[in-house]
Amino acid sequence: MAALLLLLFGLQALIFSGNSQENNYDRLPETFRNGVDLALEKLHSHARIQHHFLFFKSVLQSDMEPGFDVKYIYHHFYLKATRCPRGTTNSTSCRFRNDRPLMDCIACYKTFREAVEPEPKPYIHCVHRTTLTPETRKTREKHCYELGYRSGSTILLASTGNK
């Protein structure tokens, strides 16, 4: 009886973990999903990438909302390789590989009414987690910090209005 219960719990855990890779992405707010999509698009465009990657988990999410439906998004997250080849369009049957390092990604961008703005240009940077150095971390964080201040802050005093 105990062995049967253990088998049932094991199967349930296997089914739950198989579905969790899609659920993690689905649980993200739309503004953060946009950054993950940009990172996946950029990553899958590299010729050296042979596997299809999927969102694995968020490390840090931050957004600054200066007003007027504008947000500055900072998202640090991991992507993980799957057993599917690059270019796979339907990733529901793709399972994560455990023999490849995670991709450590940063996405910093400006949104207006939940859509990613082309200016300032979104900053997307992904490297294998095993090759990430403290210098690279500092460079990425500095770039994201400057992104929010490069275009200036939207404030009510800067509004000219119509007369």
Query: For 132-146, what is each residue's pLDDT tens digit?
Result: 999 999 999 999 888
Given pLDDT bands bounded at 50, 70 and 90, which one contains residue 113? very high
State residue 2's pLDDT score.
41
Given pLDDT bands bounded at 50, 70 and 90, which one contains residue 98? very high
Q: pLDDT at residue 19 above 70? A: no
State residue 35's pLDDT score.
96
CB 50 within 8 A of CB 86: yes
Residues 129/131/132/135 CA torsion (nearest 10 deg): 180
State residue 91's pLDDT score.
85
Cβ partners under 8 Å of residue 103, min gap 6: 43, 53, 78, 79, 80, 81, 126, 127, 128, 129
State residue 67's pLDDT score.
86
Domains, the chain, ordered by start: 26-86+94-152 (3.10.450.10)
CB 74 within 8 A of CB 108: yes
Query: For 48-73, what is each residue's pLDDT tens digit?
Result: 889 999 999 999 999 999 889 999 99
